[in-house]
Chains A and B, each alone.
Chain A
Amino acid sequence: MENSKQFVHKGVVYSITTLLLIPILATFIYSLSSSWGATILPDGFTFKWYSSLLTDPRFLDAFGRSLFICIASLLLATLLVLPMIFVVFYYYPKLDKVMNLLILLPFAVPPVVSSVGLLQLYANSSFQLVGTPWILIGTYFTIALPFMYRAIANSFTAINLKDLIDAAHLLGATTTKAFLLIILPNLKKGLLASLFLSFSFLLGEFVFANILVGTRYETLQIYLYNMRQTSGHFTSALVMTYFAFIFLSTWLASRLTRGNNQ
């Protein structure tokens, strides 16, 4: 009885996993096959799609741009959000409720709508912002904000902030020192988790990138979109490379966050 039950459970889990893996596996095989037309199995295997992708300077440039924008917006978010949450939690704990409403705003407006609004807002500004990476960094900051705020705020509630800072003050530490030496190390886990989550989310962002900047600053997703007319094998290789990268960073994230949990 117990065994047959477990058999059913395992069966469900394995079949769902297989179902989810099929498209990834198919894409992977397609990206490795020389041609795969009217036959059940591909005609032959080759690495040429990967080699042509990884030697394409346009791809490498787009990848670099995407990395730059993501890292820059996350850096901006970290620098702004960390001290802000500290101020909210330590000096004005009542503001947490306001913040929780505020961080929901980016979700309330769909990207297509808000990008049009941003275009109108910045199209006629005295300095050129639309079409540059800077507007994208600013926009991505608002997308990353909810993830960052929630995760870091959770870490803040998990520690006894007031008593810890008070104890540090009485032992001679300034508020800045107390923040850097005591509070920050305890936020590491939440911060890293939110950074990696936002990173993989931002790397795959297409709508804002396409409308606000488009081909003038080709990011990875725009490149993928522009390459849709070329060989399917090539785009499959592109998708698999992207997927592998996200997988790697997620794995790294779980490794790092686990490392903190001594």
Chain B
Amino acid sequence: MPRVEVIGVRKRFGDVEALRGVDLSIEDGEYVCIIGPSGCGKTTLLRIIAGLIPPDEGHVYIDGKLVNGVPPEDRGLGFAFQNIALFPHMSVLDNVAYGLRVRGKDASFSKKVAREMLRISPIEISPKALPRELSGGAAQAVAIARALATGAKLLLLDEPLGALDARVRVSMRYELRRIVKDLGLTAIHVTHNQAEAMSIADKVVVMRSGRVMQVGAPRELFWQPQNLFVAYFVGEITLLEGYIVERSEDRCLIELREGLQLVSTCPERARGDHVVAAIRPERVKLYASEVGGENVLRGKVLSARVLTGVLRYEVLLENGETLLVKEILTHAKRRVLPETSVWVQIPPQSILLFDYPSIGLMREISLE
């Protein structure tokens, strides 16, 4: 039985349609992340599941029970939201132990659990400190510990790591997933940070303009996005406009700008189709000398950046378009310098094809 089910949920704020018919099913024990640009409706959806705001239409079930009209405190949830404050007059430890105390657990047990929960924080926090003595990041870690300590089986998290420094944020996301799994909880975590979602979720929900664009495991979204927006939102990708000029049984030939051609495996496309070829930079191979094979294109390196664990190249193709290439970084690998002539190879099966959007490519992938 799914723990959380959302069916046909709509919500309007004045003229703004925040949710335009959302269906979503979350299994027991799943770690789900909801991502999307600002204003996509992800926080509204979370608040409706929490019971903080009612939907205009649709139903929310938790553990098979319809919870429309049930107040938040009776839904059996723990939540850590961005702007839910800690109790200012209580110590960190008392804040975290609060949920257990109000459920009638004795003080020493509550404090023991609270201490354990505080250990998830990568920042050292004194249990005796008062909330006003904490940095934004530390206060956030305490809020998460408090949500965990309630003993609720369903955890709702809205940008739970948003106030942390980037590096702490990375460490803490793995800790957060680990503890949720160790405790056997179901978690729904809303974030604007797609890298965070992809690295810890069992299932990612991508939203845009009040609608769900795709639901899937992180690798599925990354390698098999169902639409251009998801393809672009979950990670860097090169998008090239073209037309199908020839097709055989299992292959087709795409003509890009200036007559540049690519071979692709492409079911369900016909000659003359106006398409966007989407290419993940991790799938492209870069060579400093000429190689043979399918889809080998000449280019010139525009930029070569060493990132954390990765070399990122921008390669200018002969038709004036730019192709991104990413390689894993190792000492043995020499960085190809800007202005160098190179050859790139794009495996035909790695090219994703989408219909050219009627509203134009830039609007289709707009993050605003």
Tell whether A pairs with B.
Answer: no
